Amino acid sequence: MIKLLILGPTGSMGKLISELALKDEEINLVAACGIEHIGTSLGSLVAIEDANHIKISKIEDLEEIIQETSPDVVVDFTLANATERNCLICVKKGVRCVIGTTALSQEFLLEFGKLVKENNAPAVISPNMATGMNIFF
């Protein structure tokens, strides 16, 4: 079973990922961190039953949450400045990252790539998955 941490669970993509993860029997959603709806039940936010009773935690507590929950993977759908800060923390802890955030800096990408190799923490960066954006490709 994959232990999943979601960053940005209150945005449109974050809610969708949360809902799908809560429905998937092969995923154990262990935590969700953000800047909005702190303390709110993730299940109630997406109108799904949540057996783990995950409450949205403050992003400032990310290192502690990683320590407590030992996620295998983090999915990040936040803003570039938040992704750049939080995913560096995750990859340094050996957590695999799936990043859907747009407008990441070249500096971040270089540092992140280096840390991915050093910490043996594979990552996927696939920004802007919106239908309207991808219709141009």
pLDDT in tens, 54-80: 999 999 999 999 999 999 999 999 999
**Residue 72, exposed/middle/buried by CB under 10 A (0-12, 13-18, 19+)?**
middle
Rounded distance between C-alpha atoms, residue 95 and residue 37, angstroms: 24
Q: Which two tokens stand for residue 114?
A: 């280096």
Q: What is the mean pLDDT of the chain?
A: 92
Q: What pLDDT shows up at residue 48?
A: 86
Q: Which two tokens stand for residue 97?
A: 């990252």
Per the CB < 8 A criterion, the answer to whether 137 and 131 are in contact is no
Q: What is the crossing angle of helices 80-92 and 62-69, to 10°?
A: 40
The CATH number of 2-134, from 3.40.50.720, 3.30.110.40, 3.50.50.60, 3.40.190.10, is 3.40.50.720
User: Poorest-confidence range of 14-28, 45-59, 73-87?
Assistant: 45-59
How many Cβ atoms are within 10 Å of 74's Cβ, its own excluded? 27
Question: What percentage of the chain exceeds 90 in pLDDT?
Answer: 81
pLDDT in tens, 76-103: 999 999 999 999 999 999 999 999 988 8
Q: CB under 8 Å to 25, separation ≥6 — which residues? A: none
Domain layout of the chain by residue ranges: 2-134
